[in-house]
Structure 1
Amino acid sequence: MNVFKTMLVLVLIAITSSCKKSKEAKVFTTEDITVIPKPVALNLEQGSFEFTGKTTFVTTDASQKEVTKVLIDKFKNAAGWTLSISERAPENNFIQFTVDENLEKEAYKLEVNSSRVIISANGNAGFLYGIETLRQLLPVSIESESVVSNEQWQIPNLSITDNPRYKYRGLMLDVSRHFFEIDYLKKTIDRLAMLKMNVLHLHLVDDQGWRIEIKKYPKLTEVGAWRVDQEDKHWDGRDETSPDEKGTYGGFYTQDQLKDLVAYAATKNVEIIPEIEIPAHVSSAIAAYPELSCHERPIGVPSGGVWPITDIYCPGKEHTFEFLENVLVEVMDIFPSKYIHVGGDEATKTNWEKCADCKKRMRSEKLENVEELQSYFIKRMERLINSKGKLLIGWDEILEGGLAPEATVMSWRGVAGGLEAAKQGHDVIMTPGSHCYFDHYQGPQNEEPLAWGGYTPLSKVYTFDPIVGGMTETEANHVLGGQANLWSEQIKTESHSEYMIFPRLAALSETLWSTKESRNWEDFSLRMTSMFKRYDVMDINYAKSAFLVMEDVKINMDTEEVTLVLNNEFTYSDIRYTLNENKLSENAIRYTTPIKIDKTTEVHASLFKDDKPVGVAFNTTIKFHKAVGKKVTFKEIYDDRYQGEGEFGLVNTLRATKNYTDGHWQAWLKKDMEAVVDLGEQTLIKEVIVGTLENQGPQIYFPTAVTVFVSSDGENYTEVGVEKRAYAKNPSFDLKDFKVSFEAQSVRYVKVIAKNLGKTPKGGNAWLFVDEILIK
């Protein structure tokens, strides 16, 4: 009887334990699989595999062991386990690498059942990407730097067959305009690998800094790597630097640092491609060695923007080529990459046209013009690069004057250059500014940190396709892939750099890896929700711009009614709003249709999740005033390029943003704005407000004064007030309302004169931007 009781207890314990275990086992659905980029083929099966402290990695060589570190290190931090590596597979609970020579280089197969995980690949690239997929199948807490308690480290049973659509999937970091440390570059490489990106293009040379040690020419880093610190000024508003001023802002990488970086990147299947600019964007080199230019005058390393770029290498002098050949030999010794990027863009060749040495070269080489001289320059560099077993890449300007025989074109000025190069039989990497320039804004400019300009949101990046309409199959086969570019004129910190890269890099990774047919914005949006949580745990300062509520405002001038449309980038967002004094809460109105407004109204809106507002709230005030819909006449009409909403553009309640191309601004170049508003009848008024913008980069300046005059007959005007503002250097983008208040009086006509700065500090013509004249 006692034996029976004992057996019964044991059976009950076993049943209870089994029930408990089955309750803990997670049942996975397709919605739980949030891998980015999306695998080519995936079949979900019942059950799951659970990692434990005894899970073993089965490898056959040292390079495979290196790949396993991605997950072994993660589990050590997040679970506190030290997982083992073996050459023999145990009975169960293991991850095994299997070589399959029939798979392409970066392809992999992943087979998961409850007892083991098999990753098949041709080599380490595929094994790495299989591991990175496992990483994304695990809970996001796998990214934690400290032990996470009560986590189930389960992944679903499934089979995946995966391979990239394009073989070139890159990110360019500009480390010349602002310098970033090696540790940050390594972090970026890790994140590229997570998203199955395989190229880091380093822009190592530009006017504002030479970032690579060249032992034969030490002045390149002694002089060229440092500039006078003017970081408190707008990039394009900085003073010209004297060659006698010592630079203190900058930095450079030693050859040993770069060799270590290259070796590290290789373990992540990331190829580092160096860019050494030729023939322009090289003021830093000419500051170090003035004899490389046509004029040979000493110059300082520029602290900010340079335009036009006239201080460029002289192709008429033989020692220019000797210098560049010596530089490139050292560069190619550091970087084993297949490609060397030589820039080739934005060269203003006015000095070549005047240079006796250049003229002599053109005669001896029978060159018709300076465009052909640039082509000669690039072709000569290509012969050197090809002789070392490498290929040349250049921006699409290298097409001008004739393309070097084996050059690959990186098309940035749209896709036309890439299309032309492909027609000529050249390989192409597409990186159009419209979709791939990550120095552009990705959300409402008023809410965003400083960027270069333009608008490239997450959803737009997701529409990118390197193969463009009109390409033949042969031309399309020359398209190697695509690349994101983060130019760093406005990017001073690692945190800001992360903000501009993420999450847009995730969108780009999917456009370059996944099949075109599988791409779906709604599906990607859902998977990005998981990726955002992963970024949170990884402490990546990613942009939340896609969640921001944006407005589209229109006014019916006949009814003087405003229609306000609210949206964000995600299709099925829960946006709610309140009006005037009402606070955003779970009781806010769910936005379903455009909001009609016919009087001054405050609007507050936010994305909601679980009945709570999330992210930055949207706030705007639609201000109705006494000038709305009234006739406006100008002494000088606004510029054709910035017409706003036309006739009623300054009296329609619609306020503009810091984005001067948003369609709400009217602008005057060099001229003052003189506008007369006809109120239609005698009206009691006491204040006039003029909305303006300053962005000194593109030469937009606040007015130096706004003066208001009033009249009852439209002929005799009396000045009632002025607000003055003296010019001041301003590195930011700012909005300002000039307010002129006065004793209330009854008038019909209001004349407003906004005084244009006229000439910029550098001598160019100044812009004056105005979005609204409010009369109260």
Structure 2
Amino acid sequence: MRQHFKLLTLIFVISLYSCSDNSKSKDFTVNDINIIPKPAELTLDKGSFSIDENTKIIAHDSLKNIAKILTDKLKSSSNIELDFSESSDSNFIQFVAKEGLENEAYELSITNKKVTVTANSLGGFLYGVQSILQLLPAEIYGTDTKGDLILPAVEIKDKPRFRYRGLMLDLSRHFFPKEYILKTIDRLAMHKMNVLHLHLVDDQGWRMEIKKYPKLTEIAAWRVDQEDKHWNARDKNDPNVKGTYGGFLTQKELKEIVAYAAQNNIDVIPEIEMPAHVTSVMAAYPELTCHGNPVAVPSGGVWPITDIYCAGKETTFEFLEDVLTEVMEVFPSKYIHIGGDEATKTNWEKCPDCQRRMKKEGLKDVHELQSYFVKRMEKFINSKGKKLIGWDEILEGGLAPEATVMSWRGVKGGEEAAEQGHDVIMTPGSYCYFDHYQGPQNDEPIAQGGYLPLSKVYQFDPIVEGMSEKEAKHILGGQANLWAEYIPTTSHSEYMIFPRLAALSEALWSPIKLRDWNDFSKRIKTQFNRYDELGINYAKSAYLVTSDMDIDLENKSVKMTLQNEFPKSDIRYVLGDAKLSEKAIPYVNPVEISESTVVKASLFEYDKPIGKVFMDTIKFHKGVAKVVNYVIPYNDRYTGSGPSTLVNTLRGTKNFHDGQWQAWLNDNMEVVIDLDQPTEIHKVTVGALENQGPGIYYPIKIEVFVSDDGKKFNSVGNLERPYAKNAGSELKDFIVKFDKQQTKYIKVIATNLKRTPAGSGVFLFIDEILVE
């Protein structure tokens, strides 16, 4: 929402009656200024300005809601309740309307006598208040601010680089209630973000009340509960079984959300997917498919997505126009998002209705039929005074005339749309998909895949190098997307959003010339304190120490490099049983290790470890660097580091693309390790990975054999582990112990499950065979 304020002699004033109390005066340094996103221009002066219980508020009616944002924070955190007054002549904060300023821009001037916020819109005044709050101690965001409320003397001139700064919440894969969405709106405003995109429809659930079609909330909003299984390993549901897991938002609740967002200068954009990602709709109204057969709301992943709207039936368009009419009555946004992605059109190719449509409209293929579908829906949306947004697949077959493209498959679709003169919102997965891992997979909750740390989000620039000035003007901004397949709770959702939203907010708001990771790294630590006060379950992944290792098999030694995301970090480590204390060894150069040991490391601040402790065990077992003969070859897609992978001491992570895993598809692992000479052994450990979504399962049996000649083998031990459901990603060492043996050859067989419960193929992943 945008509101213009005429320049008035009436001003918004907060009057401070503490001019004689010099004991509260304070000089600040640049290090005390930790506003995120970084203001376009900021000058720090000497002096400060204090707020206390004598402060009075003078506000025009149109500004009282903004004044309440500040006064409510003061009351809740410091128990200071400020009264409104008609006038004042000293020690005040004034909000002045100025027509020449751009939308959302503001100016903030703080001296030891007064504070002036100048703006020309609701957003500008709101963001001025947000900057004031970030100049106060972080405790202002909590409920117990004990110190003085002192503002540094600064001059700020600030405005956003991009006009579209968004976050998408996926409510379909896992449903989040109104209360969480309202909290998210507060946090978007805190970061000067101005768009909340609600993904209300997908295969796994419909989330909005549509009064004309009650089955959408009676049937499409609910699925069979299979939360104990991995998202991509869930069973296909029976259409006759009633779903119990899900939920939806009533139109009344959505109107509350929209109104609250408007107060915070946030536009709420609804997404109603079409023609694909609508299996849930087909469960409620199967007559809208090409085939008309009953289907169930899926409980997990669907691929390919074939149960889509029939593009040949007029009833499809009647249904969608009815639905969108109700959607537009709830959401005043000028944009309606229709999705448009990942439609598998095999049913269209054989559907008589679709073929008849193609012939009538002169369409040469199903891609042009999708373009017809999108253009027809755009015409309807435009007739209601709205604009259509779609994912970059809507480019296929020809783009609708006035459509805005949301480019997610990299930036190519955005570039193409901008070249054609269309507006673009950049949201490439490599920078903006917050469902990706943000730290080492071993230390993170299961996620969609990919790696998007805080530092990489900070590098995002919606303007692609080489764009012309004309094309760049079509780039409206950018957006983070939080797809929720692996995010069942609001706490987990917060963890994936924060602090990456802070990095994105600065990438979209601040001038690119101010982009400085070192400076941001300093300011984000104060933002963490604010998150603590707000009770946000933010990720501390940026603190995590990670390692890279090089192995010298000939000399049986390892070089370990340690790092984390923060520049010039104080990383310290210890070996063996030593305690990780202030006396730990400062990390300077790669750590050379030539004997079995445990490495522990952490980032330190003020001589204390912070964040989760890094720990790795390097074990130079009796099989290290020995020759491995592969009786059954490993799969050529997952070859590890070659034939020595299983005996190189280096362990794999939950990221099965890390180069430390060998895999067997539908085959057992069967290898023979040549120990060179008779060696006494009593234990063999096999390291394995399970991630049932992509078809990686633990072995169901491991057996160890020994031989003196490499021809005749005797079994010395085995263990069995039956298949079990596993919703997560997990590493496990399978240990086979036996009586001491003198042997030259060891054969290890790990038995593959071979077929999943759903009948698909199975990968067996092994990273190391430890011989002791």
TM-score range for the pair, normalised by the shorter chain length: over 0.9
Indicate which of 742, 745, 752 corresponds to 1:746.
742
1:61 Cα offset (Å): 3.1
Indicate which of 335, 338, 355 corresponds to 2:351.
355
Is it true that 1:580 corresponds to 2:579 in the alignment? no
Give the aligned partner of residue 670 of structure 2. 674
For the 8 Å contact 2:49–2:112, the answer to whether it is kept is yes
Is it true that 1:387 corresponds to 2:383 in the alignment? yes
1:638 Cα offset (Å): 2.6
1:81 Cα offset (Å): 1.7
Indicate which of 374, 377, 402 corresponds to 1:378.
374
After superposition, give the CA deviation of every residue in 1:537-560 in whole Å (9 maximum; x if it has no partner): 111111111111111122112221
SS of the residue 1:679 aligns to: strand
For the 8 Å contact 2:574–2:601, the answer to whether it is kept is yes
Is it true that 1:113 corresponds to 2:83 in the alignment? no
Amino acid at match of 2:675: L
1:243 Cα offset (Å): 1.6
For the 8 Å contact 1:57–1:96, the answer to whether it is kept is no
Indicate which of 498, 503, 518 corresponds to 2:514.
518
Give the aligned partner of residue 198 of structure 1. 194
For the 8 Å contact 1:578–1:584, the answer to whether it is kept is yes
When the two chains are superposed, the root-mean-square deviation of aligned CA atoms in Å is 1.6
After superposition, give the CA deviation of every residue in 1:499-520 in whole Å (9 maximum; x if it has no partner): 1110000000000000111011
Q: Measure the CA separation in 2 of the matches of 1:723 and 1:326.
A: 61
Q: Measure the CA separation in 1 of the matches of 2:604 and 2:20.
A: 36
Q: Which moved more, 1:322-331 or 1:627-636?
A: 627-636
Give the aligned partner of residue 412 of structure 2. 416
SS of the residue 2:646 aligns to: coil
1:19 Cα offset (Å): 13
Is it true that 1:79 corresponds to 2:75 in the alignment? no
Please give the residue correspondences for 1:152-301 in structure 2 after superposition, counting only pairs within 5 Å.
Answer: 152-301=148-297
Give the aligned partner of residue 95 of structure 2. 97
Give the aligned partner of residue 70 of structure 1. 69
For the 8 Å contact 1:169–1:509, the answer to whether it is kept is yes
Q: Which runs of 5+ in 1 are unaligned?
A: 1-17
The 1:442–1:679 alpha-carbon spacing in structure 2 relative to 1, beyond 3 Å, is same
Q: Measure the CA separation in 2 of the matches of 1:581 and 1:226.
A: 52
Taking structure 2 as the reference length, the TM-score comes to 0.96
Aligned residues: 755
Q: Measure the CA separation in 1 of the matches of 2:636 and 2:99.
A: 62
For the 8 Å contact 1:237–1:729, the answer to whether it is kept is no
The 1:19–1:603 alpha-carbon spacing in structure 2 relative to 1, beyond 3 Å, is farther
SS of the residue 1:650 aligns to: helix
Q: Measure the CA separation in 2 of the matches of 1:529 and 1:519.
A: 17
Taking structure 1 as the reference length, the TM-score comes to 0.95
Q: Measure the CA separation in 2 of the matches of 1:763 and 1:363.
A: 40
1:625 Cα offset (Å): 0.7
Q: Measure the CA separation in 1 of the matches of 2:542 and 2:120.
A: 38
Indicate which of 652, 657, 661 corresponds to 1:656.
652
1:87 Cα offset (Å): 5.2
1:413 Cα offset (Å): 1.3
Q: Measure the CA separation in 1 of the matches of 2:625 and 2:249.
A: 60
For the 8 Å contact 2:228–2:725, the answer to whether it is kept is no
Q: Measure the CA separation in 2 of the matches of 1:58 and 1:450.
A: 51
The 1:20–1:71 alpha-carbon spacing in structure 2 relative to 1, beyond 3 Å, is closer
Amino acid at match of 1:60: H
SS of the residue 2:273 aligns to: strand
Q: Which runs of 5+ in 2 are unaligned?
A: 1-17
For the 8 Å contact 1:58–1:94, the answer to whether it is kept is no
Q: Measure the CA separation in 1 of the matches of 2:431 and 2:702.
A: 39
Give the aligned partner of residue 34 of structure 2. 34
For the 8 Å contact 2:24–2:50, the answer to whether it is kept is no
SS of the residue 2:378 aligns to: helix
Q: Measure the CA separation in 2 of the matches of 1:261 and 1:771.
A: 49
For the 8 Å contact 2:24–2:150, the answer to whether it is kept is no
Amino acid at match of 1:221: T
Percent pairwise identity: 62
After superposition, give the CA deviation of every residue in 1:186-207 in whole Å (9 maximum; x if it has no partner): 1100100010000000000011
After superposition, give the CA deviation of every residue in 1:598-631 in whole Å (9 maximum; x if it has no partner): 0110111122222122222111111111111122
Q: Measure the CA separation in 2 of the matches of 1:675 and 1:482.
A: 51
After superposition, give the CA deviation of every residue in 1:656-695 in whole Å (9 maximum; x if it has no partner): 1112122221222222222222222222222211111000
Please give the residue correspondences for 1:460-499 in structure 2 after superposition, counting only pairs within 5 Å.
Answer: 460-499=456-495
For the 8 Å contact 2:78–2:143, the answer to whether it is kept is no
The 1:20–1:669 alpha-carbon spacing in structure 2 relative to 1, beyond 3 Å, is farther
For the 8 Å contact 1:56–1:95, the answer to whether it is kept is no
Give the aligned partner of residue 8 of structure 1. none
SS of the residue 1:646 aligns to: coil
The 1:509–1:552 alpha-carbon spacing in structure 2 relative to 1, beyond 3 Å, is same
Q: Measure the CA separation in 2 of the matches of 1:404 and 1:633.
A: 59
After superposition, give the CA deviation of every residue in 1:183-231 in whole Å (9 maximum; x if it has no partner): 1101100100010000000000011110001111011001111111111
Amino acid at match of 1:655: R
Q: Which moved more, 1:185-194 or 1:711-720?
A: 711-720
Q: Measure the CA separation in 1 of the matches of 2:429 and 2:392.
A: 12
Q: Measure the CA separation in 2 of the matches of 1:371 and 1:748.
A: 63
